[in-house]
Structure 1
Amino acid sequence: MSLTVTPEFVLFILILMRMSGFVFLNPVLGRKNIPALFKTGMVFVLAIGVFPSAKMPDTEVTSAVVLGVLLLKEFALGYLVGFVMQLFDMVVTYAGAVIDFQMGLSMSTVYDAQNGTQTAMTGNILQIYYLLLFFAVDGHLALIKILSESGKVVPYAGVILGPDAARSMLNIFVECIVLAVKLAFPIIAFEFLMEIATGLLMRIIPQINLFVISIQLRVILGVIMMVFMISPAGDFLNNLITDMIGAVQDILRIAGS
């Protein structure tokens, strides 16, 4: 089936699909509590802003099938960028779940409207902290700039999603797991040392029944430890945002090569 469309129209809808994948599947800009009308408007504003400086695609669109494949590739690229951000967002959620488990608060969860699931209380606090830092350091503006200029790295209608992209996503996933463990490690180590100290005291002085107060002690000392972690956690999350932006740039570079 032949298709007759202008190159300008093809370019605009390609930009529109790339921006749609980025905005609607973004853990920050595409949150469920943000109205769909606002997100749709953001997609159109980004597409209109990028269109004048975008380069015309070299691929000739001769049929609806070719156009459909190109649109899917552009949407997939935007989705990959959003998914990378989702992985880094899950670092704080996973770390919070580990921290709550160590403190004995694994049953105290709050509803996460973004994912429609119950999340750890500490993970929710860390996620709010992460989002505030993300906007404070203009991370949203940096990502919008990267995506707006992505046409220079990945030409429109020139998206290549091969084994290299899959390998890069796997590496990012492993990196995020390691980062989550690093974020939770101070609490893990502290609670581990406290368990050793409790066991030694119960062994040395059997008359003291520390098991009764050990649960409350774990929570209290864990909260105190988290207060001391506020500043180091801020530095860690700031580096996490930098790593996330770097990972997005890597994915775009791989998809354009």
Structure 2
Amino acid sequence: MPDIGQMMLFSLIFMRMSGFILLNPILGRRNIPGFVKGGMIMVFTLLLYSFSSSQVPEPVTSVEYAVLLIKEFAMGYVIGFVMELFLMIITYAGTIIDFQMGLSMATVFDPQSNAQVAVTGSIFHAYFILLFFAVDGHLALFKLLIQSSEIVPYGQVVIGTKVAWAMMEVFTQCIVMAIKFAFPIMAIEFITEIAVGILMKVIPQINVFVVNIQAKVLVGLLMLIFLFSPMSDYVGFIISQMLLGVENMIRIL
């Protein structure tokens, strides 16, 4: 006769991993086939089940059991949403950079968000994902998932007002980091605007619109090339902050 407690434990782990994978901006992208996502969910569930030694409180009714499953799925969703917020730093910063460079109309289609995104944001978005795997971010994330069973035992997830306030703090942090990421380009483009304005006063005959557009694009591209190394370091910092944010959110749950 199967052990009901172990079956419940397996189902709760499965729901937590389902919410984490299906709503994850890196592992659950829309261009990843469904059977691959299902395979990752099952593999993660089996691995975490083998590491887990927690006892699941037995629900009295099927409704209580359904509530436990929903809470576990919601916890996985919250973890995935935190990662999505940090990934949006790159997209938002790219939008600001392209707007300052005069390339706001040059967009590419992003299958993940099903919308048009900035070219610069798309480039750094791809770089973010590549760097995430290069620095073994996926292994650090899986380690956090294993630790989550100790911090928040299965069946004991509590989603309250603290989670909402923590999400607001993460959102504010991501907005600030996005502005910091785009600030060097914003500053140099502002200086370029001032220089073109002075040039227009000195040489009134110049076609300021043609010069300004070309100058902003040229200066912006040169600065992107010149600042690629420090901006890459900042992308690595964003990844470390993302993992820290996931860990803090797990502790709040």
Structure 1 runs (4+) deviating above 4 angstroms are: none
Q: Say if 2:147 is the partner of 1:149.
A: yes
Residue 122 of structure 2: aligned partner: 124
Indicate the residue corresponding to 1:94 in structure 2.
92
1:2-32 deviation per Cα after TM superposition (whole angstroms, max 9, x unaligned) = xx97000000000000001111100000011
Report the counterpart of residue 26 of structure 2 in structure 1.
Answer: 28
Q: Does residue 228 of structure 2 align to residue 246 of structure 1?
A: no
Q: CA deviation at 1:206?
A: 1.5
Structure 1 residue 57, shift from structure 2 partner: 3.2
Out of 28, 42, 50, which is 2:48 matched to? 50
**Equivalent-residue separation in structure 2 for 1:199 and 1:154 (angstroms):** 59
| Counterpart in the other structure of 2:16 | 18
- Paired with 1:50 and 1:132, the residues of 2 have a C-alpha distance of 25
1:79 & 1:54 partners in 2: Cα distance?
20
Which deviates the most, 77-86 or 137-146? Answer: 137-146
The amino acid across from 2:202 in the alignment is: I
Partners of 1:166 and 1:147 in 2: CA distance = 21
| Secondary structure class of the residue paired with 1:96 | helix
Residues 1:70 and 2:98 are matched in the alignment: no
Structure 1 counterpart of 2:233, from 228, 232, 235: 235
- Which shows bigger deviation, 94-103 or 58-67? 58-67
| Partner Cα separation in structure 1 for residue 3 and residue 171 of structure 2 | 40
Instruction: List per-residue Cα deviations over 1:79-111 (Å, max 9, x = no partner).
Output: 000000000000000000000000010001000
Tell me, which stretches of 5 or more residues in structure 1 are unaligned?
none
Aligned counterpart for 2:170 among listed residues 172, 191, 194: 172
Asked whether the 8 Å contact 1:8–1:56 carries over to 2, the reply is: no
Q: How far apart are 1:211 and its partner, in Å?
A: 2.5
In 2: Cα distance, 1:237 partner to 1:156 partner:
33
Alignment partner of 2:195: what SS? helix
Number of the residue aligned with 1:202? 200
The alpha-carbon deviation at position 58 of structure 1 amounts to 4.4
The CA distance in 2 between the partners of 1:44 and 1:58, in whole Å, is 20
RMSD (Å), alpha carbons: 1.3
Aligned-partner SS, 2:117: strand
In structure 1, what is the equivalent of residue 103 of structure 2? Answer: 105
Contact 2:5 / 2:56 at 8 angstroms: preserved in 1? no
Q: Secondary structure at the match of 1:118?
A: strand
Residue identity matched to 1:168: A
Distance 1:89 1:168 in 2: 17
> Quick one: percent identity of the two aligned structures?
50
TM-score, structure 2 length as denominator? 0.97
Could you tell me whether the CA contact under 8 Å between 1:93 and 1:120 is conserved in 2? yes
Residues 192 and 215, structure 2, Cα contact 8 Å, conserved in 1:
no
Q: CA–CA distance in 2 between the matches of 1:159 and 1:142?
A: 22
